[in-house]
Each structure stands twice: as structure tokens, then as C-alpha cells.
Amino acid sequence: MTDIPLLSLAVWLPIAGGLLVLASGDGRNVAFSKLIALVTAIFGFLVTIPLYTGFDTASAGMQFVELMPWVRDYNINYHLGVDGISMPFVILNSFITVLVVMAGWTVIEYKPSQYFAAFLIMSGLLNGIFSALDGILFYVFFEASLIPLYLVIGVWGGKNRVYAAFKFFLYTLLGSLLMLVALLYLFHKSGSFAILDWHREPLAMTAQSLIFWAFFASFAVKVPMWPVHTWLPDAHVEAPTGGSAVLAAIGLKLGAYGFLRFSLPIVPDAAQHFAPVVIGLSLIAVIYIGLVALAQTDMKKLVAYSSISHMGFVTLGFFIFNPLGIEGALVQMISHGFVSAAMFLCIGVLYDRMHTRNIADYGGVVNTMPKFAALFLLFAMANAGLPATSGFIGEFMVVLGAIQFNFWTGFAAATTLILGAAYTLWMYKRVVFGDVANSHVAELSDINAREMLILGVLAVCTLAMGIWPQPVTEIMHATVNQLLDHVAAGKL
């Protein structure tokens, strides 16, 4: 334990840097603004590393806790802390931010400082979500993080960006407003906004059910679960590459994280009671959305649907209430953070050169971009869940857990290994293999050093986690076991 407020730094350093970048303006010193952005992002990542090295894996409690009163009249505290569930996401988020800043380096021409500032501020807010231990503090970060992404989609997005930005914002706001009422009700019952106090607060079944659905409205939209997923393909397709990468890598994890931090421990009995509903919706997401992904003609849309399908796996893992399921789901979340970010960045590489995302416009890319094709293949395989990539570990653990829970649930979930391979590899085949399809593809140049660096780092992460997942899973054990004991004990 150190005396440096690491979590506060992880939250406020990127935000301060973002404001600085914003203040530096879009005048002549664009290079300077970009440099500040990159330096801030890197420092933002560096301050999160001690969170891992100094983490006590034996403890299930909150670590690196910071607590000070914020709004005394309402007993709202500035209360930060991480446990084995949230800590990996703080690091993941700060890491992805560095890559996203690098990915936008030369591509963004319109108001680049505003673009980088939006990402840095968003990164700080997302870290805030993962480390907040006070209900209102969580909510504040949760909602505030909508603003930068709304602007990123709307300002730097594609043709239909206005529609996508509004849909994204209003859908997520609807859910979170209902959650706000639930938070206020919990405050009214317990006299505290501390999430850990709520974990202990006894609640009757009716209250638990209502709170469960209020939380569900918020988190299911954010995950997103079928049938409230429709905002995601729109948002992904219209967002610029960096926006898609952050949204997929981190944005989608917020809802899943919310289930673990709020729904399961605060209303354990309602969570168990309604688990069949969630499991059903998750399986629909895994199978039906997997089939939908197969039919896509737009690469980004395909990856977006594949994300929904993968996130169905995550919610499935949570609601079967066994250690394999929850740990598998968490591993899946981290792995998906790397893989989906990499997939979107790969598509971004192609889009920057060809200005189209249509699968039909490509073909034979391997002939002109061999290095890119190799890396893209690795990520496609990881997306399909090939062993020795990170995608396999999580899916395998969740399938095992699901089979323990119920054979047919496990069986249905396992179909994703086939569907995932089908839609990803088929897309890969159509885009990369074959003869050079047209003159545009023939003129393609292979990835440059900057792109190589971004994708290479992600490739290393994907492989490392696939071969040796122990460092990631060991930090989760204690927390996950404690959570499961808590859920099993119930509150009635």
C-alpha cells in the first residue's frame, strides 16, 4: 500500500490532461496538443500499473481505498477503491486509451484537440466508474461518460451519425434514470450511499424485485442484452475507429460490471429468482445475434453483433452463480476488451485507406497487405475463440460452468464456438483471401510503423492471456468467491 492516491490519479490525470489539450486549441500547435494527449495517456496508464503490482490477491476486500466527504448533507462520499473485479478494468481502460490516442494520430483532421480531449476525459470518467464505491459517485461518472462519447460519435462519426448519437444517448439515459430512483430508494432505506453498506442492507423480496428491474434497465441497455441492443450496431458503425474501440473494449463492460457490483450483491434473492430470464436473454443473444452477425455485409456491423453475442456469454456466466461462470465471464470481458478493440482498429486501418466498410468492396487484401493480414488473422481467430488465444479461455470456462449448472444451457452456449468461427472467419476469407478484387485493393499499402505498434501490442496481449491466464485469474479468485458466498447466503 502506498500513500499516493493512485485511483484518484487514474481518474483525474486524464481529465486534467484532456482539459489542457482542449485549452491548447486547434490553432497552429496541433502537434503540441497531440503530444500532450499522448503523454497524458501514457502517464494515465503508468499510474495504474502499481494497482496490479501492489494488489493483495489474498484479500477479497476493497484496496487502495480513498474516502472523503463530498456532499455532507446527503451523506455522499468521494469513495474510491478496487477489488479483484474492478482492478483489471481500470488498467485495461487506461491501456486502451493509449492505443486509441495513437490510432487517431494522423487520421483525425477536424478539430483534433477536441477529439483527443474527449477520449482522455472519457478515460478518466470510465476509471471513475470502475473505482467508485459510492452510489452517487458511480452514477455521476456513469452518466457523465455519455457526454464525450455522444460528441465523439456525433462530430467525427459517419453519415448517419446524428441518429446514432441520439439513440446511444437516450437509450442509455433511460436505463440510468431508473437506476437513479433505485439508488435514492436504497439511500432512503439505509441512510447511506455507500455501495458496500447496501450489500449488507436487508431488503424484502418486493423491494428487491423492483430494484433488480431498475438496475436491469440500466445495465442491460449498457451491456447490451437482447432485445435492447439495437443502439449498439448503429453507434459502432457511425462512430470513428477510436470511438468504436473504446465503446467495445470498455463501454460494454460497464453494464456487466454493474451486474456484479450492484445487482448480484445488493439484491441477491431477486437476482437468483430472475436468473432464468437473464439466462434466457443471454442465450438468445449468443445464438440469435450470432446468426444475425453471419448475415452482415458491413464489417463494423458484423463485429458489433459479434460483441453483443460475446457479451451474452458474459451475462450468462454471471447468472449461473458458480465460480467458473463468473471468472470465465470476467476473463471473457478482458479478452473481449483486447480482441474487439483490435478488430475495430483493424477495420479502421482498412477504412482509412479505402473509405468503405463493405465486405463486398474488398478481396485479396493479403496480396497487398501481408503484415496486416497476419495480425488480422490472429485477432479473427481470437474472436472465434481459438485455443491459445485469450478468446478461448473465457468461453471455455463459461461453457464448463454452464454445463455444471445445466447441460442444455451449456450445450446451447457452446454453439457460439461454431457460430463465432463461422461469421468471423467467413468475413476474413471474403476480405483478405482470394485474388485482388479491384484496383483500389491493388493500390493498398501495408500498415506503417505506428499501426504495427498498436496492433502488435494487442497481439502480444491476446496471445499472452491465451497461453498463461493465471496472472489475471488469480486476482479475481478471492473476490469472486466472496461474492458467490454472499449471493448464496441471500438477504431474506
The residue among 52 and 213 lying less far from other proteins, judged by its C-beta, is 213
Q: Strand, helix or coil at 273?
A: helix
- To other proteins, the closest distance from the beta carbon of 25 in angstroms equals 8
| Distance from C-alpha of 393 to C-alpha of 297, rounded to nearest angstrom | 29
- To other proteins, the closest distance from the beta carbon of 136 in angstroms equals 7
Using alpha carbons, select from 424, 429, 241, 417 the residue that is nearest to residue 341. 241
The residue among 140 and 403 lying less far from other proteins, judged by its C-beta, is 140
Residue 295 grid coordinates:
448475415
- To other proteins, the closest distance from the beta carbon of 364 in angstroms equals 37
| Distance from C-alpha of 69 to C-alpha of 456, rounded to nearest angstrom | 44
Using alpha carbons, select from 398, 229, 244 the residue that is nearest to residue 324. 398
- To other proteins, the closest distance from the beta carbon of 174 in angstroms equals 5
The residue among 71 and 442 lying less far from other proteins, judged by its C-beta, is 71
467 and 306 in contact (C-beta within 8 Å)? no
| Distance from C-alpha of 66 to C-alpha of 58, rounded to nearest angstrom | 20
214 and 266 in contact (C-beta within 8 Å)? no
Helix spans in 104-240 (H): 112-131, 135-144, 146-156, 161-190, 195-200, 205-222, 231-238
The residue among 143 and 298 lying less far from other proteins, judged by its C-beta, is 143
130 and 82 in contact (C-beta within 8 Å)? yes
Bridge-partner residues for 66, per DSSP? 80
- To other proteins, the closest distance from the beta carbon of 260 in angstroms equals 23
Q: Number of helices (H) and strands (E), helices first, in the chain? A: 26, 2
First to last CA, the chain: 37
- To other proteins, the closest distance from the beta carbon of 189 in angstroms equals 10
The residue among 130 and 362 lying less far from other proteins, judged by its C-beta, is 130
| Distance from C-alpha of 118 to C-alpha of 99, rounded to nearest angstrom | 14
The residue among 26 and 446 lying less far from other proteins, judged by its C-beta, is 26
- To other proteins, the closest distance from the beta carbon of 273 in angstroms equals 21
- To other proteins, the closest distance from the beta carbon of 32 in angstroms equals 17
The residue among 10 and 165 lying less far from other proteins, judged by its C-beta, is 165
The residue among 98 and 194 lying less far from other proteins, judged by its C-beta, is 194
What does each C-alpha distance from 113 to 13, 35, 123, 242, 414 come to in angstroms?
17, 10, 15, 14, 45
What does each C-alpha distance from 307 to 164, 328, 375, 425, 483 come to in angstroms?
17, 16, 19, 15, 26
Binding site for other proteins (CB under 8 A): 25-26, 69-74, 111, 114, 136, 139-141, 143-144, 146-147, 150-151, 154-155, 161-162, 165-166, 169-170, 173-174, 177-178, 180-181, 184-185, 187-188
- To other proteins, the closest distance from the beta carbon of 69 in angstroms equals 8
CA angle 348, 351, 354 (to 5 degrees): 155
- To other proteins, the closest distance from the beta carbon of 185 in angstroms equals 6
The residue among 139 and 344 lying less far from other proteins, judged by its C-beta, is 139
Identify the burial level of 443 via C-beta atoms within 10 angstroms of its C-beta, where 0-12 means exposed, 13-18 middle and 19 or more buried.
exposed
The residue among 123 and 340 lying less far from other proteins, judged by its C-beta, is 123
